[in-house]
Amino acid sequence: GGILCVDNFDIVGDGVKDLLVGRDDGMVEVYSFDNANEPVLRFDQALSESVTSIQGGCVGKDGYDEIVVSTYSGWVTGLTTEPIHKESGPGEELKINQEMHNKISSLRSELEHLQLKVLQEREKYQQSSQSSKAKSAVPSFSINDKFTLNKDDASYSLTLEVQTAIDNVLIQSDVPIDLLDVDKNSAVVSFSSCDSESNDNFLLATYRCQANTTRLELKIRSIEGQYGTLQAYVTPRIQPKTCQVRQYLIKPLSLHQRTHVIDHDRPMNTLTLTGQFSFAEVHSWVVFCLPEVPEKPPAGECVTFYFQNTFLDTQLESTYKKGEGIFKSDNISTISILKDVLSKEATKRKINLNISYEINEVSVKHTLKLIHPKLEYQLLLAKKVQLIDALKELQVHEGNTNFLIPEYRCILEEADHLQEEYKKQPAHLERLYG
């Protein structure tokens, strides 16, 4: 997760200030520094909401330092260095010292007072809503959302966070995408059938959230060359029922990520565009095609951006100025997608483009070499899964697996993971052959 807040405080108590970090995925981390001044993770704690503020200090009890954090929906929680002692007395009853007993009593009375206050405000609202002079208003709520590309598995993460509990989220897409499983996601998902030919609906899915869920994380897999809009309709548990829509663009080269350097020794294909277009116009086309490009045109007459495909590790160099754009890539499919999309964008604006391209035949062999290990992995995975049932039967008959070679023992140990991975194989293969 991205870092939202940091603080310096000696929570470990070694005389050197530690780094306290709060992340947008709810992680609270404490880093100490070793002899080489390198940060070392000493402690972490997962919360269910993004951490918006973090502070170290002495809050609850003298002599014991604490970390106090606040979350997006307003929760304030603390992590203390005070040890919790538990003593078992006669009849296995838990002994609580007087100080702890007073603290619990104080918290209980404070909680009862707050519950009473909420009840009074609720009754006041009910009375005012039934009045003849009452006016209804749409309740407003803010959504903290993030749509980012994960380099590790070439998928997009969509995170939606609301300050009140989420009731349901409807996902609609006019471009073919896959929704992937997320471990942290406890919502129940249901898919609706949709007619992609008549109304451009390729996906309709509803996530029904459990009580008190304020944060929902989704994973989405796109296919390059197919672009459109993903929409999320977010409905929180408030009355009257209100919904907000968030839109996210799936770009033509959606799996490309900005990078600072590329390998210039690779065999490159070149696409050259010339015509009567301005620097701002060609920049807007690049923004439309590729992620992580700033909306505002950069300063200067000419600009170069480098990109790397997170799925295949192919590269793209984009250089453009007024009247000319040059795009180089070791993947011929990237050049083909750019040619089609840029032609359409220029046609929409009635701009005449002169398009030329140089194809390097060696690049095809180079790209196939990049794809080959991925196909080989999928083939090996299928062979391993075929062996699992036979190996399990041997294990039952023999009682142990010591007589098996290490490779087969490893297959047995990882059987569940391998079968889970095998279920996703059709989708992986579809991405590889496009």
Q: Which of 222, 250, 278 is the last residue of a domain?
A: 250
Distances (CA, A) of 385 to 391, 402, 418, 426: 10, 20, 7, 14
Q: Is residue 106 one of the residues assigned to a domain?
A: no
**Which residues lie below 8 Å from residue 294, measured CB to CB, with a gap of 6+?**
287
Render each residue's pLDDT in the chain as its tens digit; 434 residues. Answer: 788 999 999 888 888 888 999 998 889 999 998 888 888 899 999 888 899 999 998 887 778 888 999 998 888 888 888 776 655 555 555 556 777 788 888 889 999 999 999 899 888 877 777 777 777 777 788 899 999 998 888 889 999 999 889 999 999 998 888 888 887 788 899 988 877 666 678 889 999 998 888 999 999 988 888 899 999 999 998 877 889 999 999 999 999 999 998 888 999 999 999 999 999 999 999 999 999 999 998 888 899 999 999 988 899 999 999 999 999 999 999 999 999 999 998 888 888 889 998 999 999 898 888 888 888 888 888 888 888 888 888 888 877 777 888 888 888 888 888 887 777 666 666 666 55
Residues 337, 293 share a domain = yes
Residues 372, 355 share a domain = no
Q: Is residue 168 one of the residues assigned to a domain?
A: yes
Cα–Cα distance measured from residue 21 to residue 4, given in angstroms and rounded to the nearest whole number: 8
Q: Is residue 159 one of the residues assigned to a domain?
A: yes
Residues 318, 397 share a domain = no
Distances (CA, A) of 202 to 59, 207, 248: 53, 17, 15
Residues 261, 244 share a domain = no
Q: How many domains does the chain have?
A: 4
- pLDDT of 126 reads 77
Q: Is residue 333 one of the residues assigned to a domain?
A: yes
Q: Which of 359, 378, 393 is the last residue of a domain?
A: 359
**Both tokens of residue 263?**
């390998």
Residues 244, 266 share a domain = no
Cα–Cα distance measured from residue 95 to residue 179, given in angstroms and rounded to the nearest whole number: 50
Residues 237, 335 share a domain = no
Q: Is residue 29 one of the residues assigned to a domain?
A: yes
The answer to whether 203 touches 222, Cβ cutoff 8 Å, is: no
The answer to whether 320 touches 282, Cβ cutoff 8 Å, is: yes
Cα–Cα distance measured from residue 32 to residue 7, given in angstroms and rounded to the nearest whole number: 12
- pLDDT of 305 reads 94
Q: Which of 359, 382, 405 is the last residue of a domain?
A: 359
CATH code for the domain of 278: 3.30.160
Residues 269, 352 share a domain = yes
Residues 163, 74 share a domain = no
CA–centroid distance for 54 within its chain: 22
* H helix runs in 304-405, sequence order: 332-348, 361-398
Q: Is residue 125 one of the residues assigned to a domain?
A: no
Residues 386, 317 share a domain = no
Amino acid code (one letter) for 174: D
Residues 245, 149 share a domain = yes
424 phi, psi to nearest 5 deg: -85, 0
The answer to whether 17 touches 37, Cβ cutoff 8 Å, is: no
Residues 151, 226 share a domain = yes
Query: Is residue 78 helix, strand or coil?
Result: strand
Expressed as residue numbers, the domain containing 325 is 256-359
Q: Is residue 86 one of the residues assigned to a domain?
A: no
Residues 329, 298 share a domain = yes
Q: Is residue 121 one of the residues assigned to a domain?
A: no
